[in-house]
Amino acid sequence: MIKEILNEINAIERFLKNHKRYLGEEYVKYQTTLNELRLKVKLKEIENNVRDALKLKSDGEYLKARNLLKKSSNDIDKLEDEMINLKIKTFNSQITNLKNQINNELNLIKNLLLGEDSSINAPYNSSSVNSSNPINQSFSGENELLNKLNELLSKYQNPIKIGEGGFSYVFKAIKNGKTVAIKVPKELTETTGEIFLREIGNWKKLKHINIVQLYYSNIYPYPYIEMEYCEKELNKIKNNLELKEAVLLFFEVLNGLKYAHSKGIIHKDLKPHNILIKNNIPKITDWGLSKEITSKSTTINALTLQYSAPEQISRETIDKRTDIYQMGIILYELTTKKLPFNGNEFDIIYSIKNEMPPKPSELNPLIDEKLEYIILKCIQKDKSKRYQSVEELQKDLSEYLNIQLTTNLTASKTNKDFSRSIFYCADLVLFHLLNNDLGDALNYLYDLKYYADKNCSEEIINSVDNLIKAIEYRIEEGIKEPSDEIKIKAKIVVNKVKMRF
């Protein structure tokens, strides 16, 4: 097949060379045909590699099959980029089907390598990479499903694909003048259907400023979730955060997780990719693998291995402490800029089960003994040695942050470095609001107003005054927690004071 296509390419190239000056505008059309044929050759080579990988899998050569599939995945990404650059859409359906098949086969092989009983070692079938095969097809490969998806997206303005996960695609779109995100399953199978319904069921119970808000969901004309759009992803900014900034953000995420746990829901798949940021406020998303605490089902399918807890690897019972372990891995990464466990899958699995990672302070000397203790306690192998609740974790983290920020503020005042004092004072306002300490937040806000009066515009000074009045009112009324509106307003106001607007 490839030889026949190459012969066809050579014939067209000879024709173009001999007749270029006579072809005029037709020359461009022939060049397009030539580009399509070249892409077709590359696609066929990838399909052959996938076919070879399936044969290796059938023979029990799982690692070789996995490596060949990963190579095929990289090759198909490059091919897709070429198609975009050349503005060729001819092979969209085939590429989508092949990408889905590669991802599914990689998951199956991963399960086989991990000893998952639920994995099926399907017999080798040379037709399985054919785009007409209904197995593993996504909506892009089925006209009926594609039409339904288009019908759904037609309800919105300017839908643009902005991301994808193991089971779904995410689009950014506009509805009634408001930017929203739309999540749809990649394919319609029993597994994706179960995950999708579970996600909707649990997500509907969660309404918190640190959890991405679900606006609406339906299964017609195509299953979808309409949700809050967030402009940033922690995974993309994690290496740019300073230590203090990272720990404050982490503390804020814990508020959302604490709320979910109070509703009897554990996430099971916490990682920077699943923490989004809107208006500088972090929000947990992707509740597709979450489950109610009363549920006994557990699986490691679709989890990101490096963030998986030992009990997830060993298929033991999971609970709130599993989420705490995953948050500990995130805190380790945010503060050291490295993941605790690396290497191939077998090395990572062995390390998660049996080894403690390098001490965080060895990777970042700014991490003191208290913060290191907190990080390492989160990621203990034995669940009973971890923090037993988010509240317990936040208590230690609160003490650490309070000491760090007040010490820095005092030092800056002593050194008369008032530009730094503004920053530390602003951070203390936000920290105490996050910690529901309205009285302490108000005291530092009074100090911040003193700095604002000397350095900021009248507009910002008025904003600080309004924030003070809002907090004073809640204290007078005996309300113990700041409203979401106050938290949002506080972030905006204190950041402007920092920038001396």
CA-CA-CA-CA dihedral for 321, 326, 331, 337, to nearest 10: 160
Query: In what helix (H) or strand (E) does residue 292 lie, and over which residues does it extend?
Result: strand 291-292
Please state, in angstroms and rounded to a whole number, the distance separating the CA atoms of residues 6 and 93: 22
- Helices and strands (H and E) in the chain: how many: 18, 10
Do residues 255 and 210 lie in contact, with contact meaning Cβ atoms separated by under 8 Å? yes
Please state, in angstroms and rounded to a whole number, the distance separating the CA atoms of residues 269 and 61: 29
| Exposed e or buried b per residue across 384-421, where buried means at least 16 C-beta atoms within 10 angstroms of its C-beta | eebbeebeebbebbbebbbebbeebbeebeeeeeeeeb
Please state, in angstroms and rounded to a whole number, the distance separating the CA atoms of residues 444 and 434: 14
Question: What's the one-letter identity of residue 443?
Answer: N
Two structure tokens written together for 398: 């609160």
Do residues 337 and 102 lie in contact, with contact meaning Cβ atoms separated by under 8 Å? no
Do residues 68 and 53 lie in contact, with contact meaning Cβ atoms separated by under 8 Å? yes
Query: Using N-to-C axis directions, what is the helix angle for 92-114 and 62-86, rounded to 10°?
Result: 160
Strand partners, 448: none
Length of the chain: 501
Please state, in angstroms and rounded to a whole number, the distance separating the CA atoms of residues 253 and 234: 11
Exactly one of 269, 286, 427, 437 is catalytic; which is it? 269
Residue 434's alpha-carbon distances to 151, 194, 438, in angstroms, are 42, 35, 9
- Told to judge if 269 belongs to the known catalytic residues of this protein, a careful annotator would answer yes
Residues marked active site are found at 269
